[in-house]
Amino acid sequence: MTEAPLKLFNSLTRQLEPFVPVHDGEARVYTCGPTVYNYPHIGNMRAYVFADVLGRTLSWKGYKLTHVINITDVGHLTDDADAGEDKMEKMAAEKAQSIWDIARHYTEAYWADVKALNIREPATWSIATDYIGDMLEFAKGIADKHCYELDSGLYFDVSSVADYGRLARAQTDDGESRIGDVEGKRNAADFAIWRKTPAGEKRQMEWDSPWGKGAPGWHLECSVMGEKLLGFPFDIHTGGIDHREIHHPNEIAQNQAFCGCGSLDVASHSGAKIWMHNNFLVERSGKMSKSSGEFLRLQLMIDKGYHPLAYRMMCLQAHYRSELEFSWEGLEAALVRLKRMVMGVERLRSKFSQLHEFPPLAGSEASFFLDEFDAAISDDLNSPEALTIFDRVLATPAIPDEYRWPLLLHMDEVLGLNIRWLDRLHLRLRPLDAQLRTNEVEDKVFERVKARAAKDFAYSDAIRDELSAKGVEVMDGDPLGWDWKLSV
């Protein structure tokens, strides 16, 4: 286990807290996964890069990690607070396909993004519809004391548990606008545990229950899968910051009801000891929302020729609790930084390609950098700082190569930028379509000449790739003196 004490920001207490595992030497983490009615956008993927860095950090620091990410294939309505239609049913109707086909298609698309971003597979991908029986048992267990039945379903009475809404810093009577959604609700924030299929209707996804045919409310699944797979209390629950407002307070209320737990002054009464939330990736034009119809997918970046790990780099360059604004310029800068890194490690990679045993880092002069890296990442996952330490290890001549290479590889276990395998050629811009005007080409070529003169080869390479992506081939050392040509 590494030395620096791990501190994480707990949204429940709004404080940095030392990580003290529930089970010695273990870390059990639950991450709210995607609702698979559509492709994930790159904002969603920021949530999983964050959870991945958390998981990698826990493993790196020596904890035995059990990570669960769920797949929501039932129950999530178009409005998080029980209003609107079921997202899956709506998409299935629009596409005239079965919900199961929709779920499979978008789950696979999500997994492809996970892989492209070098996000490690969790121990379990838990699929909500596999746990309907467990959800019914859980609901039956809390129904008498905490729920009431209306025509439309079984509702959770949020006044039946202590400190409802503490995570959101909200009052029970917040959200007046919500109360009108369902006739007969006792409190504005009460939410459905079970949604009955309206009389005369047939849903594609419905199950029998003591409250009639229907489907579970969205929040129920995460309580149930968390409890089943990790046990209450587990260590850490993660999600995007929007979940701090409705989904997670409701999950917490269900967990308190299930455990018979009182005040949230004891954090573990919430079902998890630490609740962590990544801030949003935003875009000025507002295209980051799936409901807006048009949104940025990782595949669009790939089609424009960007390696997906450039996006991972972009995420790492910001602290997970800061908002991150997406721009193509920002992505370009992240790509150049990644390329610089890869160029820096290429030499070491080939030098040590046959060697698998290195001198121990502990006790060596290189261990200073390891401690610095450990301190940065243990400080609430300060990945921007960790990246600068990586850069320093690359750039400090005094570090002998036989320490430098294992040191970098060790750090990359947390960063996940795949430096052992990533090749400069993989980072070439390769868009599906490309074009450029002549004066733009001339300007770029001139900029590249300057970059080469200044020995900034990462930048000159980036320009060459940008040109090549736009169908222009740079011709270094061409005997006829042509600087560039349009590639056919």
- State the residues that interact with ligand AMP by CB under 6 A: 32, 34-35, 43-44, 46-47, 239-240, 242-243, 278, 280-281, 288
Smallest gap from residue 452 Cβ to ligand AMP (A): 38
State which residue, 43 or 55, has the beta carbon closest to ligand AMP.
43
* Phi, psi angles (nearest 5°) of residue 298: -60, -35
Smallest gap from residue 265 Cβ to ligand AMP (A): 26
Helix, strand, coil share (%) of the chain residues, nearest 5 = 45, 15, 40
- 31-39, 153-161, 326-334, 424-432 -> range binding Zn ion (CB under 5 A): 31-39
- The DSSP bridge partners found for residue 31 are 69, 238
CA angle 8, 257, 88 (to 5 degrees): 80
Interface with Zn ion includes 69 (CB under 5 A)?
Answer: no
Among residues 212, 157, 215, the alpha carbon closest in space to that of 184 is found at: 157
Q: Between residue 320 and residue 379, which ones bind Zn ion under the rule CB under 5 A?
A: none
Is the CA virtual torsion 107, 239, 63, 59 positive or negative? positive
Residue 249 binds which of Zn ion, ligand AMP, none (CB < 5-8 A, kind-dependent): none
Give the C-alpha separation, 195 to 246, whole Å.
17
Residue 46 binds which of Zn ion, ligand AMP, none (CB < 5-8 A, kind-dependent): ligand AMP
Among residues 294, 270, 310, 315, the alpha carbon closest in space to that of 424 is found at: 310
* Binding track, positions 391-430, relative to Zn ion; x by CB under 5 A: ----------------------------------------
Smallest gap from residue 32 Cβ to Zn ion (A): 3
Checking DSSP bridges between strand 234-240 and strand 15-18, what pairing results, if any?
unpaired
Residue 222 binds which of Zn ion, ligand AMP, none (CB < 5-8 A, kind-dependent): Zn ion
Smallest gap from residue 445 Cβ to ligand AMP (A): 38
Smallest gap from residue 282 Cβ to ligand AMP (A): 6
What order of strands is seen across the sheet that includes strand 147-150?
147-150, 153-156, 191-196, 214-216
Answer for which of 12, 29, 32, 205 binds Zn ion (CB under 5 A) is 32
CB atoms within 10 A of CB 93: 13
State which residue, 41 or 339, has the beta carbon closest to ligand AMP.
41
State which residue, 275 or 405, has the beta carbon closest to Zn ion.
275
Q: How far is CA 451 from the centre of its chain?
A: 36
- 5-13, 27-35, 278-286, 456-464 -> range binding Zn ion (CB under 5 A): 27-35
State which residue, 19 or 48, has the beta carbon closest to ligand AMP.
48
Q: Which residues neighbour 488 within 8 Å (Cβ) at sequence distance 6 or greater?
A: none
State which residue, 45 or 341, has the beta carbon closest to ligand AMP.
45
Interface with Zn ion includes 222 (CB under 5 A)?
Answer: yes
Smallest gap from residue 227 Cβ to Zn ion (A): 13
Are 16 and 9 spatial neighbours (Cβ–Cβ below 8 Å)? yes
Are 26 and 61 spatial neighbours (Cβ–Cβ below 8 Å)? no
Q: Between residue 181 and residue 200, which ones bind Zn ion under the rule CB under 5 A?
A: none
What is the contact surface with Zn ion in residues (CB under 5 A)?
A: 32, 222
